Chain A
Amino acid sequence: MARCEDMRLLLGPFEDGELEAHEMQEVARHVVDCADCDGELADYRKFAVSLRSFATTPDLTGFRTAVIARINDLPVPFATRVRRYLTSFADGIGATFATGFAAAAVAVVTAVILTPYLRQGDLLAGLRRPPQVASSSQPTATQPPTQMAKNIVPMPVAPVVADAGGRSDNPLGGEVSPAMESSDDSGAIIDKLEAESPSVAVWNAPQSDTTVIWVPDQLH
Chain B
Amino acid sequence: MSRALSPDADETELLERARNGDSQAFGALVERYQRRVVGVAQAVVHNQDDAVELAQETFVRAYENLSKFESRSSFSTWLYRIAANLAIDFRRREGRHQVLRGEDAETEINRIPSPRGDSYQETARTELSQRINGALKELTSEHRAVILLREVEGLSYDEISDVLHVPRGTVMSRLHYARSRMREILKDLGGS
Contact = CB atoms under 8 A, between A and B. Distances in A.
B34 A71 contact: no
Contacts of A76: 21
A52 interface: yes
Interface string B160-189: 000000000000100110011011001000
A74 B150 contact: no
B39 A70 contact: no
A50 B148 CA distance: 12
A87 B172 contact: no
Given A54-B112, A71-B26, A80 B21 contact: yes
Interface residues of A, number: 35
A202 to B, nearest CB: 68
Nearest to B31: A64
A43 interface: yes
B168 to A, nearest CB: 9
Given A47-B179, A66-B56, A60 B34 contact: yes
Contacts of A187: none
Residue among A16, A40, A57 with most chain B CB within 10 A: A57
Contacts of B78: none
Contacts of B152: 51-52, 55
B172 A67 contact: no
Contacts of A70: 56, 60
A147 interface: no
Contacts of B172: 9, 12-13, 18
A7 to B, nearest CB: 12
Contacts of B148: 51, 55
Contacts of A87: 20
A68 B26 contact: yes
Contact of B190 (A43, A56, A58, A67): A43
Nearest to B110: A56
B23 interface: yes
Contacts of A51: 132, 147-148, 151-152
A52 B78 CA distance: 24
Interface of B: 20-21, 23, 26-27, 30-31, 34-35, 38-39, 48-49, 51-52, 55-56, 59-60, 63-64, 67, 107-108, 111-112, 128-129, 132-133, 147-148, 150-152, 156-157, 172, 175-176, 179-180, 182-183, 186, 190
Given A48-B151, A54-B128, A74-B60, 8 more contacts: A9-B172, A12-B172, A46-B190, A55-B39, A63-B52, A64-B30, A64-B31, A80-B67
Closest 10 CB pairs of A and B: A58-B48, A56-B111, A55-B152, A51-B151, A48-B151, A67-B59, A64-B30, A54-B129, A56-B108, A43-B183
26 contacts: A13-B172, A16-B150, A16-B175, A18-B157, A47-B151, A47-B179, A47-B183, A51-B148, A51-B152, A52-B152, A55-B148, A56-B108, A56-B112, A57-B38, A58-B49, A58-B51, A63-B56, A67-B27, A67-B30, A67-B60, A68-B27, A71-B26, A71-B60, A72-B23, A80-B67, A87-B20
